């Protein structure tokens, strides 16, 4: 779950973070040089922003030059499909901790088709599906050229939606379940924002690994909109409750039916984080990976002292960046696991709404509405 600064859509403001900490550390290779005089050469069509601001205003569909020649370790990729994630919005708004060098192409996640390979590229060939490993590639364009190491080959048998949304949410869920607490079959975890992309992945991975999930969702303003509770149960959620229920006495009764959770996942903050933390077992861990309520994480002092709680954060982009050079096998194993679960039908792509690239404004607008239960996907090449 990424974070953005738009009011009312469940994102939180970055003001408290204050300053840019990683200028271009992740996305230097996505920089584009726009030339207004396109008299020669090939071009890609993409969503470019030349200044930070409201994504609906600053993003423009423009032609972007594409090099004629490939370096030996480069691949040319035709992007097929790319989602609009909250963190993409942040980046364009200029509120994300690392900033693109402008002008830049939007989009960090997606799936593409290898069109050409440089002479020294191994393990990939024309026609393969690939996904970018790190954020910052600028996926909202029809064609891009990149060092082959920045991409990973994925099987096309999982489907376009699955592959397009594989790089951010499922790894966040996977690492939070694997790296912090040693969960065993029969154990329980509790999460809020359970209907988020990450939340849905958590439910499915936990179900596949025989871990019970207590899932908290925001009470939705329009109950006719979408039956979140049944949808999440159908994905494998053990229990689904509302925020209101979380803070009631009924929650204490419900939790008694399960082994006390050693792991809590928080992407909401405020009262919701307080409520989730309270239900953890002694020496439990609360991982924060988002802040939908735009309120800080608030934890009773006694939980730190007497219950020996640990609160930490998870940031998928940073984890991938930290491991891409020295632990590439770890990354490949994870994506292999995730794809295998996808092929078995145990991990599904999130519900989505598809938009042609030319209709990108609809995708942007929909993605910034509150309580939207659908991932907006840009269909770039069909």
Task: Return the active site residues.
Answer: 96
Q: Given the structure tokens 């050079």, which residue do they identify?
A: 325
Please identify, using beta-carbon distances, which residue of 18 and 127 lies nearer to a second copy: 18
- Whose tokens are 């397009």? That residue is 164
Q: Which of 96, 89, 82, 83 is nearest to 10 (CA)?
A: 89
Per CB under 8 A, which region of 136-144, 221-229, 286-294, 345-353 contacts a second copy?
286-294
Q: Which of 27, 204, 274, 367 binds a second copy (CB under 8 A)?
A: 274
Q: Rounded distance, CA 106 to CA 371, Å?
A: 23
Please say which residue, 84 or 279, places its beta carbon nearer to a second copy: 279
Should residue 174 be labelled a site residue for a second copy when binding is judged by CB under 8 A?
Answer: no
Does 173 participate in binding a second copy (rule CB under 8 A)?
Answer: no
Residues 197 and 373: their CA atoms lie apart, in Å, by: 9
Decide: is 289 part of the binding site for a second copy (CB under 8 A).
Answer: yes
| Among positions 134, 205, 303, 320, the unique one binding a second copy when judged by CB under 8 A | 303
Q: Does 278 bind a second copy (CB under 8 A)?
A: yes
- Closer residue to a second copy (CB): 312 or 330: 312
Binder of a second copy out of 302, 359, 362, 365 (CB under 8 A): 302
The backbone torsions φ and ψ at residue 313, rounded to the nearest 5 degrees and listed phi first, read: -120, 160
290 binds a second copy (CB under 8 A): yes
Order of all β-strands in the sheet with 42-49? 59-66, 42-49, 104-105
Residue nearer to a second copy on the CB measure, 77 or 299: 299
Cα gap 111→131, rounded to integer Å = 5
Q: Does 179 bind a second copy (CB under 8 A)?
A: no
Kindly write out the interface string for residues 304-333 of this chain, putting x where it contacts a second copy by CB under 8 A and - elsewhere: xxxxxxxxxxxx--x---------------
| Integer CA distances (angstroms), 274 to 297, 302, 364, in order | 7, 12, 32
Closest CB to a second copy among 117 and 168?
A: 168
3-state class (DSSP) for residue 215: strand
Among residues 288, 321, 367, 376, the one that binds a second copy under rule CB under 8 A: 288
Q: Kindly state the helix (H) or strand (E) to which residue 76 belongs, with its residue range.
A: strand 74-83
Based on CB atoms, which residue is closest to a second copy, 122 or 301? 301
Is 16 a residue that touches a second copy (CB under 8 A)? yes
Rounded to 5°, the CA angle 362-365-366 comes to: 85
301 binding a second copy? (CB under 8 A): yes
CA separation for the pair 193, 270 (Å, rounded): 12
Stretch that binds a second copy, among 37-45, 140-148, 187-195, 281-289 (CB under 8 A): 281-289
How far apart, in whole angstroms, are the C-alpha atoms of residue 197 and residue 348?
Answer: 11
Considering the rule CB under 8 A, would residue 7 count as an interface residue with a second copy? no
Of the CA atoms within 13 Å of residue 189, those in its CB half-sphere come to 31
Question: Considering the rule CB under 8 A, would residue 259 count as an interface residue with a second copy?
Answer: no
Q: How many C-alpha atoms does 353 have within 13 Å on its Cβ side?
A: 15
Q: Residue numbers of the site for a second copy (CB under 8 A)?
A: 3, 12, 14, 16-17, 21, 97, 269, 274, 278, 282, 288-291, 296-315, 318
């Amino acid at each position: 779950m990424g974070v953005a600064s738009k009011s009312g859509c469940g994102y939180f403001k970055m003001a408290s973070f204050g300053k840019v900490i990683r200028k271009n550390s992740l996305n230097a290779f996505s920089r584009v040089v726009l030339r207004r005089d396109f008299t020669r050469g090939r071009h890609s069509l993409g969503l470019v922003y030349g200044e930070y601001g409201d994504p609906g205003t600053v993003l423009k569909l423009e032609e972007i030059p594409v090099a004629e020649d490939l370096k030996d370790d480069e691949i040319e990729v035709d992007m097929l499909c790319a989602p609009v994630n909250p963190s993409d919005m942040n980046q364009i708004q200029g509120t994300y901790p690392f900033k693109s060098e402008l002008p830049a192409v939007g989009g960090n996640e997606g799936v593409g088709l290898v069109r050409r390979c440089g002479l020294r590229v191994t393990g990939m060939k024309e026609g393969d599906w690939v996904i970018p490993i790190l954020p910052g590639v600028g996926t909202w364009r029809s064609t891009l050229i990149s060092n082959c190491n920045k991409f990973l080959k994925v099987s096309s048998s999982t489907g376009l939606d699955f592959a397009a949304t594989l790089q951010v949410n499922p790894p966040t869920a996977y690492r939070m379940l694997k790296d912090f607490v040693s969960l065993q079959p029969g154990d329980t975890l509790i999460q809020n924002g359970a209907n988020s992309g990450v939340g849905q992945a958590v439910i499915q991975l936990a179900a596949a690994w025989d871990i019970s999930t207590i899932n908290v969702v925001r009470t939705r303003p329009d109950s006719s909109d979408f039956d979140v509770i049944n949808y999440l149960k159908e994905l494998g959620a053990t229990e689904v409750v509302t925020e209101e229920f979380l803070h009631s006495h009924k929650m204490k009764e419900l939790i008694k039916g399960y082994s006390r959770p050693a792991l809590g996942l928080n992407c909401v903050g405020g009262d919701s984080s307080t409520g989730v933390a309270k239900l953890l077992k002694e020496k439990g861990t609360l991982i924060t990976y988002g802040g939908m309520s735009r309120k800080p994480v608030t934890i009773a002092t006694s939980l730190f002292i007497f219950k020996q709680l640990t609160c930490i954060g998870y940031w998928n982009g940073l984890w991938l960046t930290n491991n891409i050079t020295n632990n590439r096998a770890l990354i490949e194993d994870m994506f292999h696991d995730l794809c295998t679960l996808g092929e078995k039908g145990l991990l599904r792509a999130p519900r989505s709404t598809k938009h042609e690239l030319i209709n990108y404004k609809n995708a942007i607008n929909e993605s910034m509405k509150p309580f939207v239960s659908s991932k907006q996907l840009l269909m770039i090449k069909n």
